Amino acid sequence: MAEQVLEGIRIAIIAADGFEQVEVTRPAKALEKHGAEVEIVSLRPGSIQGMNLLYPGKKIDVDRTVFTADADDYHGLHIPGGFINPDFLRQSEHVLDFVRAFEAAGKPISTICHGPWVLVSAGLMQGRRVASWPGIKDDIRNAGGEWVDEKVVHDGNWVSSRSPLDLSAFDKAIVAHFAEAVGREAPGFVGEVSWGRWLVGTAAVAAAGYAVQRRVRGGRDGDGVDGADTRAGRSTDPVSEYAGSV
C-alpha cells in the first residue's frame, strides 16, 4: 500500500472542456493513491469533455464550479493543460481570482503542458522558472518568466512539467510537492525524480496529451504513459513524438 502522506489533504484541479485527459486523470490518481481528496473545479456544473491531443476523450464529472469553490477549502491546486482547456480558463476572471488566491496564500501549485497559460493571465509569471509545452515558451518569456526544458521544474510553491511524456516523473514530484508543503515527509520514490532547481516548493507548466480509458470520478485508473519518458532520445518535434504515442 502506498504511503498515505496526503491523508486529509484536499487538492483542487481546475479544468474546463478540452482538458488533456491524462493530465487530469494521472495526477489525480497519483494524489488519491497517497490519500489526498481531489475535486474537479470548473466553469459549469455537470461534466466536461477531455481530449487526447486532437481527438475527443472521456467526460469527467465536475465536483463544484469556480463560482462556489473557495481556495481556503483546499491545500493545493493543479492546473492541467490541453490546447483548449487553458484558453477557456484564462478568459474567466473568477478562475484567475481563484488561482491568485492560492498564490497569495503561498499554497502549492502544480501545472503541466499549456497549463501555465493560466498563470500567465493571472499575472503571476514574472520572475518564475517553469517548464511547459514548448509551444508556449514565448508566452512565458514575454510574461517575465524563464522557460526550462526539463521533465520537472521546482520554483518556490510551483512545480511544472513539459508534457504527458513526462508524467511518470511529474506524478511523483507533485505527491512530494504537496506533502512537503504541509510539513510531511515525501514518499521514498522522490529520489528517482530529476529535480532541476529546488527552492521551497514547485513550479508550473508541462506539455500535451495522452489517451486514458477511465473517468476521474468513480475510478481514476486510466491507461497512463508509464515508460514513455524513458525512451531512448526525445524527438525535437514534441507534437510528432506525442502524437505517435496516442
Catalytic residue among 34, 75, 114, 154: 114
Catalytic (active site) residue 34:
no
CA gap 42, 45 in Å, rounded: 7
Residue 133 to residues 38, 84, 113, 144, 177, Cα–Cα distance (Å): 24, 13, 5, 17, 21
CA gap 43, 94 in Å, rounded: 9
C-alpha cell at 139: 508566452
Residue 222 to residues 9, 27, 28, 152, 210, Cα–Cα distance (Å): 22, 11, 10, 22, 10
C-alpha cell at 42: 470548473
Q: For the beta carbon of residue 47, count every other beta carbon within 10 angstroms.
A: 17
CA gap 78, 203 in Å, rounded: 11
CA gap 233, 166 in Å, rounded: 13
Which amino acids are annotated catalytic?
114
